[in-house]
Amino acid sequence: MFETPFVFVDIETNGGSGERGRIIEIAAIKVQYGEVIESFQTLVNPGSGIPRWITTLTGIQPGDLAEAPYFEDIATQVYEFLNDSVFVAHNVLFDYSFIRRELAAAGYRYNPKLFCTVKMSRALYPEHRGHSLEKIIQRHGLLTQHRHRA
């Protein structure tokens, strides 16, 4: 088994790229030796509005974010949770770019090993064309709730 923990991360954003957009929700599950050892989830106040299409997609309302912490207020907690683990996400560069930028703004240098589940799906199932989470969920008959929430 792997000694280094894996942290499975998902974020929701107010749109855009990691250079312009902001995180509005972050969720992470830390796994070591095949066991979930810790989890973390919070809404994040982006300090600006969120487009209506993001609210439609995620169900996150502007009012939900009003009392949420700003990223800089949780940066230490996020860094300590993620640090010294392999960062795993579906389309990993998207999630990582937002988190890296937010952590850098708070004074943290974060350069983990990255593992992309899109690339893994393509390697395991080259005969399939679709490798989005929706396609993978359908392919394996998985049940999900609140698909566009972290």
Do 1 and 33 meet the contact criterion of CB atoms below 8 Å apart? yes
pLDDT tens per residue across span 62-111: 999 999 999 999 999 999 999 999 999 999 999 999 999 999 999 999 99
- Structural domain total, the chain: 1
pLDDT tens per residue across span 29-58: 999 999 999 999 999 999 998 999 999 989
Looking up residue 103, the CATH number of its domain turns out to be 3.30.420.10
Confidence of residue 132 (pLDDT cuts 50, 70, 90): confident
DSSP state of 38: E
Any bridge partners for residue 128, and if so which?
Answer: none
The domain containing residue 26 runs over which residues?
6-116
**pTM (2 decimals)?**
0.86
Residue 126 lies in a domain: no
